[in-house]
């Protein structure tokens, strides 16, 4: 393994908004650091560990929900958008976190959940109280069919019908996720105004942007038409949700009009970044629609890699090809891991190749055109933890056991200290087991080790930030042949060629791709051969 220092002027990058080409570090608050010993990570714990994040060289942190919530979906069921849940701390703790992050040169992004709330939110409590109260139309309510069945055949993501009967109103309400997460009526202008007030509240507290959760679920078909069945597929179907084309319960065209209102608000502040999470069968088209102009969001990310069973050159090429550097096409963001998906190393490689593949994966992420999102612990090479059924917390995993991979296995506490009983998390009884298999990858085992994945991740991020071709450049070429992948990145005055072998057998480098001055090599030394799970980046 070798890395050759080559720091180029960054003037080209400096001309771009800070978020273009940014590396963003996702923090899942429950599992990052527990400052008060109650078993649950908190805002003060994040603040205490921000130095670790800053040393990585990332540009921003994204903090998953910490708002007041009954925690049935661990914060994505919001009961008060403008307050901190006591298990995470206080608004003062949040302000201290923002101040510390900014002092370290880190921007702060937070989640916004605009498609649904908790059923304990005051808005819903009022809405369900009658059919004629001021917030009666703030959620999606509908009468039963003549036979008493739900208004449509729509299914929820977490299993079962997407409608729940409410005796108070004598109607059904829509929930695309848990029954305790009623769907907001995004078509209602008053609802949009209230959500924009929420965004304004956090912008005024100093946040630098938003990751908008499940944005394509924000509006439904007002005509309440049934979804058609999905065509046959080779992919396993573990939920009723998988048997339908989601044509009418999500992705309404008017979502773009609401996006324009979000953008108009954020443009009143300096340097705000917005990125939408978009999933589903039509994700690519929706991500493009939500980011296609200066009146829309800055970026979007989907699930190209998050649930992929294997990382292949073809998958990478297809993902990059969908986002060409052409006028009117938005700017993508990429994640290999997050709080909803199994750890990538457990999906993509066998244990004996784990260390080499982890370095390869980290380098590949920073070589993709777009923003790179690193999930906490990914810089350590954490594996998916096998959580026994009796310790599961994830409602989706419990409902669909054992046919879906538990999200809990990627949400286990961050291992800071390998020899501490709680891995340095801050509590002897954390909300999820630490995962003994990950103690060997703890921060204290990797700090100071130049050959650790942590050290390599720091170098790769520095490489990206010092080379405009990687940070903001276009994809001049992309070639995928078997396990061989070539990505050529170009910016004015600079072209870099990135070669990867994503397989377990050596691959010969084609003759026409061997030239160039070596900038970095991992698990490889020769220009004509890429050993298993190796990579080379050269300057042309």
- Select from 488, 490, 503 the least CA-distant residue to 537: 488
Q: At what angle do helices 189-204 and 255-266 cross, to 10 degrees?
A: 30
Residue 385 DSSP class: P
Q: What is the 3-state secondary structure (H, E, C) of 58-71?
A: CCEEEECCCEECCC
Q: Which residues are bridge partners to 98 per DSSP?
A: none
Structure tokens at 412: 């286990």
213 is catalytic: yes
- Select from 214, 288, 274 the least CA-distant residue to 246: 214
How far apart CA 160 and CA 180 sit, in angstroms, is: 13
Structure tokens at 475: 């994809």
Q: Which residue has the tokens 């049935």?
A: 72
Instruction: Report CA dihedral (121, 126, 129, 135) to the nearest 10 degrees.
Output: -120
Per the residue annotation, which of 213, 337, 355, 396 is the catalytic one? 213
Helices (H), 222-295: 255-266, 283-291
Per the residue annotation, which of 277, 340, 422, 488 is the catalytic one? 277
390 is catalytic: no
How far apart CA 64 and CA 368 sit, in angstroms, is: 24
How far apart CA 456 and CA 162 sit, in angstroms, is: 45
Phi then psi for residue 231, to 5 deg, are -65, 160
Q: Which residues have a Cβ under 8 Å from the Cβ of 431 and sit 6 or more positions away?
A: 30, 31, 39, 40, 393, 413
3-state helix, strand, coil in the chain (%, to 5): 30, 20, 50
| Residue 402, preceding peptide bond in cis (omega within 30° of 0) | yes
Rg of the chain taking only CA atoms, in angstroms: 23
Residue 459, SS3 per DSSP: helix
Structure tokens at 239: 């939920």
Q: List the catalytic residues.
A: 213, 277
């Amino acid at each position: 393994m070798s890395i050759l220092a080559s720091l180029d002027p960054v003037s080209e990058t400096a001309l771009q908004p800070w978020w273009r080409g940014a590396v963003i570090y996702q923090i899942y608050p429950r599992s990052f650091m527990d400052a008060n010993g109650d078993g649950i990570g908190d805002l003060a714990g994040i603040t205490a560990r921000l130095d670790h994040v800053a040393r990585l060289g990332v540009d921003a942190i994204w903090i998953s929900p910490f708002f007041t919530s009954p925690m049935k979906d661990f914060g994505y069921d919001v009961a008060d958008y403008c307050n901190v849940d006591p298990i995470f701390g206080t608004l003062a703790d949040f302000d201290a976190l923002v101040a510390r992050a900014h002092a370290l040169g880190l921007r702060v992004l937070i989640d916004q959940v605009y498609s649904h709330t908790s059923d304990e939110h005051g808005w819903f409590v009022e809405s369900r109280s009658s059919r004629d109260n001021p917030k009666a139309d703030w959620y999606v309510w509908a009468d039963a069919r003549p036979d008493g069945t739900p208004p449509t055949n729509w299914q929820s993501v977490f299993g079962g019908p997407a409608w729940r009967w409410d005796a108070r109103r004598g109607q059904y309400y829509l929930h695309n996720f848990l029954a305790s997460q009623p769907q907001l009526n995004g078509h209602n202008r008053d609802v949009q105004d209230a959500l924009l007030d929420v965004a304004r509240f956090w912008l005024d507290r100093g946040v630098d942007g938003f990751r908008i959760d499940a944005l394509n679920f924000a509006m439904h078909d007002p005509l309440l038409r049934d979804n058609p069945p999905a065509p046959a597929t080779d992919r396993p179907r573990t939920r009723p949700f998988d048997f339908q084309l989601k044509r009418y319960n999500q992705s309404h065209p008017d979502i773009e009009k609401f996006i324009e209102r979000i953008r108009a608000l954020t443009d009143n502040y300096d340097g705000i970044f917005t990125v939408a999470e978009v999933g589903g069968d039509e994700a690519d088209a929706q991500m493009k629609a939500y980011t296609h102009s200066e009146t829309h969001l800055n970026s979007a990310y989907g699930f190209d890699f998050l649930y992929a069973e294997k990382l292949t050159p073809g998958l990478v090429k297809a993902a990059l090809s969908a986002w060409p550097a052409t006028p009117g096409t938005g700017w993508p963001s990429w994640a290999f891991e997050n709080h909803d998906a199994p750890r990538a190393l457990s999906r993509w490689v066998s244990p004996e190749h784990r260390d080499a593949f982890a370095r390869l994966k980290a380098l590949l992420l920073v070589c993709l055109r777009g923003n790179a999102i690193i999930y906490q612990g990914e810089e350590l090479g954490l594996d998916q933890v096998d959580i026994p059924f009796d310790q599961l917390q994830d409602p989706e995993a419990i409902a669909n056991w054992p046919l879906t991979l538990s999200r809990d296995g990627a949400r286990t506490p961050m291992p800071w200290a390998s020899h501490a009983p709680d891995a340095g998390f801050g509590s002897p009884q954390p909300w999820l087991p630490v995962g003994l298999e990950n103690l060997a990858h703890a921060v204290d085992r990797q700090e100071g080790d130049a050959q650790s994945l942590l050290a390599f991740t720091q170098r790769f991020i520095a490489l990206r930030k010092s080379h405009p071709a990687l940070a903001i450049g276009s994809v001049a070429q992309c070639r995928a042949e078997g396990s061989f992948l070539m990505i050529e990145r170009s910016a004015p005055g600079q072209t870099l060629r990135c070669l990867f072998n994503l397989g377990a057998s050596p691959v010969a480098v084609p003759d026409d791709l061997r030239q160039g001055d070596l900038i970095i090599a991992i698990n490889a030394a020769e220009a004509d051969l890429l050993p298993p799970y190796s990579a080379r980046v050269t300057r042309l």
